[in-house]
Each structure stands twice: as C-alpha cells, then as structure tokens.
Amino acid sequence: MNIQIEKFVAPIQELVALNVANIEKLVNIQVEAIEEAAKTGVDTLKQVAEIKDIEGVKSHFASLTDVVRTTVENAVVRSKSVAGIFQAYPGSVKSIVENAVKIG
C-alpha cells in the first residue's frame, strides 16, 4: 500500500519542485529588472543634479542613448530567459508524467 502511495505522490512532488524552481527563476529575473531600473533611475537623478550649464544638458541627453540601449538589451536577455523557462516547461511536465506512467 505504501509503495502505491509513493508511486502516486512522487510525480506530484516532482511537478511541485519544477514549479517552485521556475517561480524562483522568474522572481530572480524580475528582481534583477527592478534593481536595474532603480539603479538607472538613481544614477540618472545624480547626473541631472550635477548639470551646471547647457553643455551639461546636451551631454546628459547624449548619455541617455546609451542608458536606453543597455536597458533594452538587458530586457531582451531577460525576456529570452523567461521564454526559455516557458518553452522548457511542457517538456519537463511530459517527462515527469511519462516516467510516472512507466513506473505505474
């Protein structure tokens, strides 16, 4: 009787572990994005506070191009990571279910 319960519970535990791992990955990606946005915002405010003349304004706006480019590049990398997690999920679930059926 215990072995039958273990055969039933083991795949459920694997699915839960898979979901927890994916949630952790997604949360870490989100935290990374939030940290980047906060740092970029604070750095930008610091730069604005140091502007003394029109040349400083021009320089600041010119530097924003690099900031935006980096932000967009990082967002693309993060979105690819998220897509990878979602693309791998069905295969992982299928593997767990197939193993459960094979064992059962």
pTM beyond cutoff 0.95? no
Q: Which residues form the domain of 71? A: 2-103
Q: Is residue 2 scored above 80 in pLDDT? A: no
Q: How confident is the model at residue 102 (pLDDT cuts 50, 70, 90)?
A: confident
Q: How far apart are CA 29 and CA 79, in angstroms?
A: 9
The 10s digit of each residue's pLDDT in 6-41 is 778 999 999 999 999 999 999 999 999 999 999 999
**Can you give the pLDDT at residue 104?**
54
- Return the exposure string of 42-77: e unless at least 16 CB atoms fall within 10 Å of the residue's CB, then b: eeeeeeeeeeeeeeeeeeeeeeeeeeeeeeeeeeee
How many domains is the chain partitioned into structurally? 1
